[in-house]
Amino acid sequence: MKNKTKTVGILTSGGDCPGLNAAIRGIAKAAMQQGTKVVGIQDGFRGLVENRIMNLEDKDVSGILTHGGTFLGSSRDKPHKMKMGGVQMDMTEVAVSNARKNHLDCLICLGGNGTQKNAMRLHEAGLDVITLPKTIDNDVAETDITFGFDSAMAIGTEAIDRLHTTASSHHRAIVCEIMGHKAGWLALGAGIAGGADVILLPEIPYNMNYVVDHLLARRHHNKRFSIIAVAEGAISKEEAKSGKKSDDLEDEIVEGLIQEPTASRVAREIQQAAGIEVRYTSLGHVQRGGSPTATDRLLCTRMGTKAGELMVEGRYNVMVGLKGDTCEAVPLEEVAGKTKRVPLDHRWLKTAVLVDTCLGDKLKF
């Protein structure tokens, strides 16, 4: 088949995660094998607008499979709303024109939900794009899993393991905050894998009385420690009623506001209501650092090389999603603007309840 893509550009956008370099390597190696010229765009969409673009050679993508972060750099900048010298501007046309100046037949964007939307906008403005679903939050639609999730879940699980030994020595309750943006996948996955006694998610506003009853029942049964895994976007029933949504988190992240950790708030509420000694810890960006797991390395290499194949075929304006054990091309308009949260009938929730984990409120299956 004739290769439809002479030159491809790759950018990484949004919060970084383990596996980005592995995915870049997969795309670049597959592309170079077909004779496609590969360029790297620095710091996400900002680099495209500022024309910070570099040629990549085979040696540049060699030896990076295991490296955390992204050697291209990343940012949360959006082309249609970008601060330029302190003023917010629509830089879409500049982004498109720079892509054309650099003869890009296709722009491959690696990112989460924000990136999917931004890539869709660039497609609407005339560019051909392919996206990969990257985020530790696992909240991108139309893929069973996003890359970065498995690595972050492993870090969260190890943290919970470590908290278990100190909580049990001191007969304490320890609240552990886990990232995940507006979705509870990471807290739920790490919470189940680490054996947390309580898991609080944005999808299930918690009833503090229900949580406290669970913690006191554990004490009553001579289990003198408890681990509470809290998603950063978790909210109480009262907050949900008063209109606070986990969506509020969006504004806090975009504005870079430093808020009281959710874990600190939940720890205080438990201490006051249950009268037991509580500590808290917030894992924060530790979850986004370091080397990807073997599962993520494999997934990134599969998704990256799949993007390489699509590019050769000229199948643009799609996201590479994992469906079952197959990497598939999903039309971008089916992904952009959606968020995949934990459905209330999800099998992981049932699993948690079956091992007597409190999910913050009574659930019916």
Residues belonging to the active site = 137
DSSP letters of 116-136? Answer: HHHHHHHHHTT--EEEEEB-T
Shortest approach of ligand F6P to residue 96 CB, angstroms?
26
Token output for 184: 């509870």
CA distance 323 to 151: 19
The residue (of 179 and 215) whose beta carbon lies closer to ligand F6P is: 179
Contacts with ligand F6P by CB under 6 A lie at: 15, 76, 112, 135-137, 179-181, 232, 253, 288
Residue 285 CB coordination number (10 Å)? 10
Instruction: Output the DSSP codes for 141-199.
Output: TTSS--BTHHHHHHHHHHHHHHHHHHHHHHT-EEEEEE--TT--HHHHHHHHHHT-SEE
For residues 290 and 314, which CB has a smaller minimum distance to ligand F6P in the complex?
Answer: 290
Pairing of strands 278-282, 173-178: parallel
φ/ψ of residue 92, rounded to 5: -55, -45
Q: How far is the CB of 246 from ligand F6P (least distance, A)?
A: 10
CB 135 to ligand F6P: min, Å: 5
**Residues 6 or more apart whose Cβ sits within 8 Å of residue 124:** none
Q: How far is the CB of 218 from ligand F6P (least distance, A)?
A: 29
- Distance, in Å, from the CA atom of 175 to the CA atom of 183, rounded to the nearest integer, reads 18
Q: Helix, strand or coil for residue 112?
A: coil
Least Å distance, CB 116 to ligand F6P, is: 12
Residue 15 vs 321, nearer CB to ligand F6P: 15
Judge whether 27 and 303 are in contact, CB under 8 Å: no
Distance of closest approach, residue 183 Cβ to ligand F6P, in angstroms: 9
Question: Hey, what are 289's tokens?
Answer: 């650092």
The dihedral through the CA atoms of 211, 217, 221, 222 has a sign that is: positive
Which of 232/296 has CB closer to ligand F6P?
232
Given a contact cutoff of 8 angstroms between Cβ atoms, the answer to whether 40 and 70 are in contact is no
Closest separation between CB of residue 14 and ligand F6P, Å? Answer: 6
Q: Closest CB to ligand F6P among 190 and 276?
A: 190
Question: How long a stretch of residues is the chain?
Answer: 365
Tell me whether residue 23 or residue 106 sits nearer to ligand F6P (CB atom).
23
Q: Which is nearer to ligand F6P, 164 or 341 (CB)?
A: 341
**Dihedral sign of CA atoms 299, 304, 307, 312 in order:** negative
